[in-house]
Amino acid sequence: MPSKDDKSIDKISALKKNIKKLRLMLSEHRKKEEILKERCERLEMAIEAGGFGFWDWDLITNEAYFNPTYYTMLGYEPGEFTASYQSWYNLLHPDDRINVVPRIKKYVELGQSYEEEFRLRCKDGTWKWISGKGKIFINGASGIPYWAVGVHIDITERKTAKQALLESKKRLDEESDKLRTISENAPFGIVLMDSNGRFEYVNPKFMEMFGYNLHDVPDGKTWFRKAYPDHEYRKNVIKTWLTDLESFKQKSKVGERPNYTFTVTCKDGSKKTINFIPVFLPNGGHLLTCEDITERLYLESQLRQAQKTEAIGTLAGGIAHDFNNILTALMGYATLIKIKLKTTDPLITYADQILTASQKAADLIKNLLAFSRKQPLNLTYIDVNNIIKSTEKLLKRLLTEDIELKTKLTKDNTVIMADQSQIDQILFNLASNARDAMPNGGRLTIETDIVNLDKEYIEKYGFGKPGRYVMIKVTDTGSGMDKDTLDKIFDPFFTTKEVGKGTGLGLATVYGIVKQHNGFINVDSVLNVGTTFHIYLPALSTEIEQIPIEPVSIPTGNETVLVAEDNEDVRAFLKEVLIKHGYRVIEAQDGEDAIKKFMTHKDIDLIILDTVMPKKNGLEAFKEIYKLEPDVRVIFMSGYSRDIVLEKGIGDKEFDFIPKPVEVEKLLLKIREVLSS
């Protein structure tokens, strides 16, 4: 049995072993502390070197530690704000206190690592965006979070750059939307092609204009084949593009926009004249705009037609006065010869021939004036159906026996305000034109109808005004016309007939008459099939009462008439006619002479004044005479066109007026009418 001393020795020996073991453990702990301290120093150095704000938060005491870089990052001196959670909390942006802090607290409660972005207030009052990363430590025994560490990184520049990028993208999106809106609503076609000639985009107007979409024309090769189906024309188009390709690029670089005009065949087979403008892009592709100028070219041709009409009208108005003076004398004296001859005298035939030839000359002047829209109109209510019925027999005589004349007249009211003689002229001219187009016979059809011209019609043909119209449709089964002829059909002096067989004024006259009546005309024609004219004249709702025409006897008189006429032949004729029918005549050779003669002879009952005379014109002479005798009766006459007469102040209904060439019967009736009024 061991002694008491032996037990003490064992205890001492065991104690020494424990001390030695403790010393060893203490030495290892110190080494670990040194290693941990070294690692912490290295970590702190790394954090400082990286410019990160390091923080350490004791969740039990609520004390916090912030490294020097953290203060520097926000512009503070180290230790300037107290080392507590509350002091850091006060630096948070108010919005982030509401939105971010609740989430961080949730992470802490759950002991989860987290990463959040928020804003902190700097010392200078500005705000910095911070990316915060934190790790939560939990007591293993109690399960309660007790410590948190992490870094805060200044991401203001990155955030600003990102925001700028987002704003830039937004602006680009907005600009893209604007460009898309412009493109989709552009009044011209737009095509975007890549460097290989593939169509990447066509706008809605392109599809509306041509009827083709990207499926129909995926590339330039397909486009050329479909848009220009004629082989020869397609070759010329492609050659033009290829020849000028480099030139296009050079011009595009210096800001010029080359353009070409081609006739394009649309998907529905119709043809349009298109102006193409290419813009070459840096990536090798190009943008192509397509403008439909078909209607513009048509309107330009209409303008040229109107300018030609105006030019010929000016010429016609200029020659009308002198020519009508000659015809007045010629027809007047022929009438006097016929009156003096017995009905059995063979010379009457010669007088009739002179009158017939003179009337043809007068009609030629009327045609010129009607074509130029300067022929005076005698407007009355007329029924188009009645006009066609009354001229049907004459039209049949005008046509050859192998041409059938058919009429299809509407049962609707076809009353218009028009000059009956000029509507007759339209029918005769169109019938004559149709006869010449059917040398081997055929059929001429005249139809009437009531139509309403709408915006669709006006957009299709490029002219017209919305409203209700009487339509006269004249169709023949003749030789028809090609496009070049159709473009010139209403041109003055244009004719397809042989020399000596046409004046070229027939259809030009029709055009002028229709325009003078505020109407519209168009023509459709197919070679070897026939031609159709559509004439539209403003319709009225008035009905015409048919009044039988009774023969009128030539009246005579015994009053004194002052005739003021500068043309000696016309003056002599008028004197001869008036004296023969019982009147006393006083002659005046100009306006001033008329005033003197009126002052000398106080018994003058009527003055006949030429509108245009030397020294004083007809209106000026009348005004002087009116001062002397306000009740004086007057008749104006003129060989000038209507517009020149109106320029002289002779209103349509203000004064009585007789146009030249003067017909004996109409002159005597007008004189009697004025003297008896």
Q: DSSP letter string over 480-531?
A: ---HHHHHHTTSTT---SPTTS--S-HHHHHHHHHHHTT-EEEEEEETTTEE
- Residue range 186-292 in CATH 3.40.50.300: no
Q: Give how far Cα 128 sits from Cα of 67, 78, 301, Å.
A: 18, 18, 72
The answer to whether 372 and 320 are in contact (CB under 8 A) is: no
Share of the chain above pLDDT 70, in %: 79
Question: Residue 347's closest CA among 339, 357, 338?
Answer: 338
Q: Are 51-154 and 186-292 equal in CATH topology? A: yes
Q: Does residue 117 register a pLDDT over 80?
A: yes
Residue 627 — very low, low, confident or very high, per pLDDT cuts 50/70/90? confident
> Six-digit token pair at 559?
């009053």
> What's the rounded Cα separation, in Å, for the pair 583 and 635?
15
Quick one: average pLDDT of 580-594? 89
> Six-digit token pair at 557?
């008189």
> Six-digit token pair at 133?
């990363």
**What is the full DSSP assignment across 328-376?**
HHHHHHHHHHHHHS-TT-THHHHHHHHHHHHHHHHHHHHHHHHHTT-SP
> What's the rounded Cα separation, in Å, for the pair 601 and 559?
13
Task: Report the 10 Å Cβ neighbour count for 90.
Answer: 13
> What's the rounded Cα separation, in Å, for the pair 200 and 283?
13
pLDDT at 446: 92
pLDDT at 47: 55
Q: Average per-residue pLDDT in the chain?
A: 79
CATH topology (fold) of 312-361+553-677: Rossmann fold (3.40.50)
Q: Compare 274 and 351 and report the one with higher pLDDT.
A: 274
Pick the CATH number of 51-154 from 3.40.50.300, 3.40.50.720, 3.40.120.10, 3.30.450.20: 3.30.450.20
The answer to whether 483 and 553 are in contact (CB under 8 A) is: no
The answer to whether 152 and 73 are in contact (CB under 8 A) is: yes
> What's the rounded Cα separation, in Å, for the pair 252 and 5?
117
CATH classification (class only), 380-538 = alpha beta
The answer to whether 444 and 401 are in contact (CB under 8 A) is: no
The answer to whether 474 and 532 are in contact (CB under 8 A) is: yes
Q: Compare 14 and 83 and report the one with higher pLDDT.
A: 14
pLDDT at 254: 46
Q: How many CA within 13 A on the CB side of residue 626?
A: 8
State phi, psi for 196 to the nearest 5 degrees: -95, 5
Q: Does residue 188 register a pLDDT over 80?
A: yes
pLDDT at 502: 46
pLDDT at 29: 62
Q: Does residue 105 register a pLDDT over 60?
A: yes
Beta bridge partners of 381: 417
The answer to whether 622 and 607 are in contact (CB under 8 A) is: yes
Quick one: average pLDDT of 591-611? 87
Residue 41 — very low, low, confident or very high, per pLDDT cuts 50/70/90? low
Q: What is the residue extent of each domain of the chain?
A: 51-154, 186-292, 312-361+553-677, 380-538
Quick one: average pLDDT of 170-175? 75
User: What length is written for the chain?
Assistant: 677
State pLDDT tens for residues 476-530: 988 888 777 777 777 655 555 543 344 456 677 788 788 888 888 888 888 888 8
- 661 prior amide bond cis, ω within 30: yes
Q: How many CA within 13 A on the CB side of residue 141?
A: 0
State pLDDT tens for residues 418-447: 887 788 888 888 888 888 888 888 899 999
